Amino acid sequence: MSSSTSYKEFYQQSIDQPDAFWREQAKLIDWHKPFEQTCDFSRPPFAKWFVGGETNLCYNAVDRHAAKRPNDKALIFISTETDTEQVYTFAELQREVERMAAIYQSLGVTKGDRVLIYMPMIAEACFAMLACARIGAIHSVVFGGFASGSLATRIDDAQPKLMVTADAGMRGGKAVPYKHLVDEACALAQTPPQKVLIVDRGLDKGFPKVAGRDVDYAELRAQHLDAQVPVTWLESSEPSYILYTSGTTGKPKGVQRDTGGYAVALASTMKHIYCGGEGETMFSTSDIGWVVGHSYIIYGPLLAGMATIMYEGTPLRPDAGIWWQIVEKYKVNVMFSAPTAARVLKKQDPAYMHKYDLSSLKHLFLAGEPLDQPTHEWIMGELKIPVIDNYWQTETGWPILSTVRGVEDTKLKFGSPSFPVYGYNLKIFREDGSVCDANEKGIVGIVPPLPPGCLSTVWGDDDRFVKTYFSLFTEPQVYSSFDWGIKDDEGYHFILGRTDDVINVAGHRLGTREIEEAVQGHSAIAEVAVVGVNDALKGQMPMAFAVVKDAARVATPELRQQLEKEVMAKVDESLGAIARPSRVHFVTGLPKTRSGKLLRRSLQALAEGRDAGDMTTIEDPSSLEQIKQALAG
Ligand code: ATP
Ligand code: MG
């Protein structure tokens, strides 16, 4: 892969000559009208990319490939829940998107209108997103796991003209109602949509219909089978979508994405980071409700002319080999998942992985939360391919820290997402605004302008955009990631946790991530969460909740005590006694959102005897019960 340019040079050019650099990247997409200016940063911190240029995301993701390679695979829909597999070529995908776009138009949706998509992982969800892009409507995809209250908040913020949903999704063999929740949310919302378009999968027979508001997708599709809907060209900075952040740390923010910058950024990452192109297949195990789903299930792979897999199901059904079976069957070249999924698989028999021919697979990318060293080492050892840690955020839409293998095959370090990605003028800052030395912990910040594709603002709230992200120090104006990080002597970066995940023990500031890494250093531990708990004497004390690999290790109170001592000793050894958890509770699962993010706030609340808070997206509610019992015991 390595060419004559080193990554260092490539990166430096992106920072020193952004104009020339991004002009070159902009060639990766088709422009209806060329842009006049690469970046307009006359109103910092707001940046506009490829000013005056006109393009369209759907055209670049679908039409241009359909014109050249109509019969190549574009979308592969697999549901192990309903036992369905359906492959759409680029020509077929374009036809379906045009039908959906015609339906939208028949319902009065035009450029700039919002369409809220609340759907399971089915092909129609992909059509629904691309149809918005085609006609310049702004989609707001809300993760199907959110309950009606959270959905209502997002309805009121985005004020959609139309909502698209399905009767139900399926998870672990059980139907999960969607339409029903939409009805509830519409009743709660101040500004409910005029129309609700329903894909009836026949999973929730007899769901109630609201006359005059609810319309049936199959019925309308039949009326628009031959629809031809030309693309609406958008000025580069016109919005493509709104996506709310996960809400791990409070009220979710509506990230507003542009059109041209996003298209260029994604196309460039497909080339340089994910190394995927025409005729190849990408499998991202995320959900369209998250940013990874937007960027690397839908837009990224399709922009690059790859086939993309949409998978409805869990990693463990019918058995822990299902992902690898899919890799073999569809000759997947690039795979993208989350560290939490890797940890789930680590608890299974590796034979499931080795049963299949995985020789098509070039890389596995993991993102969304810290990838601990033991898991990183384990999965790379099993797969025998590079496993690449990506650090990024809903806000940025694409990786901030990564190995950029399309430019240079730099060495990987376990536990590190490597280097700042081109375009990001990233530095680690002290709290006074000065820049940290190597090996000194600080806040990960980005000197604006943010590169193309990052959030242009917070939907409907420019003020909140500036106040939330750019108010770390008065001088210089820097984008704050709200994450702690460190850069080592060789320029490798490590993320040490969120700035609000710091524990203050008797005046010592400790990152929860560091303590978690130390606990994980004990070979019996599969997974751990550390939170700070109020302590009358020391301010706060770390408390650990750990999942063991082998339940036999904690089968009796004596064994539990023994292991707890060993874990504490491990922390003493790597960080010092100051970081030693006051208690190590052993549980069989940790409370997480369905996107795999640890609900640390809730753990902390429970440990401090408070209410766990909003739990609507929790993956496994029984994990909370266990925590309560462990704390009581
Ligand atoms: P909210 O901002 O609403 O509280 P969130 O931050 O969880 O929610 P996301 O944008 O989905 O929402 O997550 C981004 C965050 O996830 C990062 O800021 C970082 O804390 C964490 N993260 C993502 N990737 C990595 C990684 N590779 N290593 C460590 N942490 C990561
Ligand atoms: Mg965040």
The Cα–Cα gap between 537 and 142 comes to: 43
The radius of gyration of the chain from alpha carbons, rounded to an integer in Å, stands at: 24
Dist CA 230 CA 232 (whole Å): 7
Q: Looking at the CA of 598, which ligand is closest?
A: 1
Cis peptide, bond prior to residue 476, ω within 30 of zero: yes
Atom of ligand 1 nearest to the CA of 366: 27
pLDDT at 255: 97
Which protein residue has the closest C-alpha to ligand 1 atom 17?
393
Query: Residue 433 in contact with residue 473, Cβ under 8 Å?
Result: yes
Residue closest via CA to ligand 1's atom 15 equals 393
**Which residue from 294, 394, 494 has its CB within 8 A of the most atoms of ligand 1, so it is best to mutate?**
394
d(CA 250, CA 243): 15
Domain 506-632 has what CATH class? Answer: alpha beta
Residue 247 pLDDT: 64
Best mutation site among 248, 287, 444 for ligand 1 pocket (most ligand atoms within 8 Å of CB): 248
* Residue in 123, 397, 372, 103 with CA at minimum distance from that of residue 269: 397
Distance 479 CA to ligand 1 centre (A): 15
For ligand 1, atom 31, the nearest C-alpha belongs to: 369
pTM: 0.88
Nearest to 337 by CA among 364, 312, 302, 311: 364
Cα(403) to centroid(ligand 2), Å = 22
Q: What is the ipTM of this complex?
A: 0.98
The alpha carbon of 398 and the centre of ligand 1 are apart by a number of angstroms equal to 12
CA 132 / ligand 1 centre spacing (Å): 27
Ligand 1: centre distance to CA 75 (Å): 28
CB-hemisphere CA count at 13 Å for 91?
Answer: 6
Query: Among 465, 412, 391, 347, which residue's Cα sits nearest to residue 47?
Result: 465
Residue keyed to tokens 């990408």: 282
Non-local (6+) Cβ contacts of 512 within 8 A are: 497, 501, 502, 503, 529, 530, 531, 532, 542, 600
Residues of the chain with pLDDT under 70: 1-4, 246-251, 614-617
pLDDT of residue 612: 76
CA 23 to chain centre: 27
Domain ranges of the chain: 91-232, 506-632
> How many A from CA of 249 to the centre of ligand 2?
7
Contact present, 55 and 259 (Cβ < 8 Å): yes
Half-sphere exposure of 373 (CA within 13 A, CB side): 16
CA 467 centroid distance within chain: 24
Beta bridge partners of 309: 76, 283
Q: Which residue has 């500004």 as its token pair?
A: 191
Contact (CB, 8 A) for 221 and 187: no
Question: What is the number of the ligand 1 atom nearest to the C-alpha of 391?
Answer: 27
Burial of 233 (0-12, 13-18, 19+ CB in 10 A): middle
From the list 454, 389, 383, 441, the residue with the least C-alpha distance to 415 is 389
Residues whose beta carbon lies within 6 Å of some atom of ligand 1: 245-249, 252, 367-371, 389-394, 417, 481, 483, 495, 498, 597
The span from the CA of 355 to the CA of 382, in Å, is 12
DSSP for residue 324:
H
- Is the link from the previous residue into 160 a cis peptide, with omega within 30 of 0? no
Lookup result for tokens 């004497």: 537
Residue 468: CB atoms within 10 A of its CB come to 15
Ligand 2 centroid to Cα of residue 529, in Å, is 18
- According to DSSP, residue 500 is labeled T
Closest approach atom of ligand 1 to CA 249:
4
Residue-level pLDDT at 1: 40
Q: What's the fold here for domain 91-232?
A: Rossmann fold (3.40.50)
